[in-house]
């Protein structure tokens, strides 16, 4: 059975492979997946609560959040002296499209 979608150029495939590798690396730890699941179901969350969600030290949670932010999966905004995090819906949609194209 053939699919009617166009084949990506080798350049597109290379870029998609790089994007997938970056995103999969960010998802390659159970704590980061739990953080994303929590943000997806709750919308937004302050950093202190995220540490409770994964039951890790704040410094360890901070490292996991940084990986997710660096991959573009999570956004953070400073509110007074706290940071509120949420999922980046555009980046998550891109992840879904790339995975579906596999």
The domain in which residue 83 lies consists of 11-100
Q: Let me know if residue 1 belongs to a domain.
A: no
Question: What average pLDDT does this structure show over 10-16?
Answer: 61
Residue 2 lies in a domain: no
DSSP reduced 3-state for 46: strand
Q: Is residue 5 part of a domain?
A: no
User: What's the total number of domains in the chain?
Assistant: 1
Q: Is residue 3 part of a domain?
A: no
Over residues 46-56, the pLDDT tens digits come to 998 998 889 99
Cβ neighbours for 50, distance < 8 A, ≥ 6 positions apart: 35, 38, 61, 65, 85
**Average pLDDT over every residue of 19-28:** 91
Residue with tokens 């540490």, as numbered in its chain: 51
Higher pLDDT, 18 or 31: 31
- CATH value at residue 65: 1.10.10.10
């Amino acid at each position: 059975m053939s699919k009617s979608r166009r084949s990506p150029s080798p350049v597109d495939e290379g870029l998609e492979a790089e994007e997938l590798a970056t995103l999969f690396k960010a998802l390659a730890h159970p704590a980061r997946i739990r953080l994303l699941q929590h943000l997806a179901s709750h919308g937004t969350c302050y950093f202190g609560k995220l540490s409770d969600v994964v039951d890790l030290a704040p410094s360890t949670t901070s490292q996991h959040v940084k990986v997710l932010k660096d991959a573009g999966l999570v956004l953070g905004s400073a509110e007074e002296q706290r940071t509120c995090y949420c999922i980046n819906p555009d980046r998550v949609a891109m992840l879904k499209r790339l995975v579906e194209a596999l």
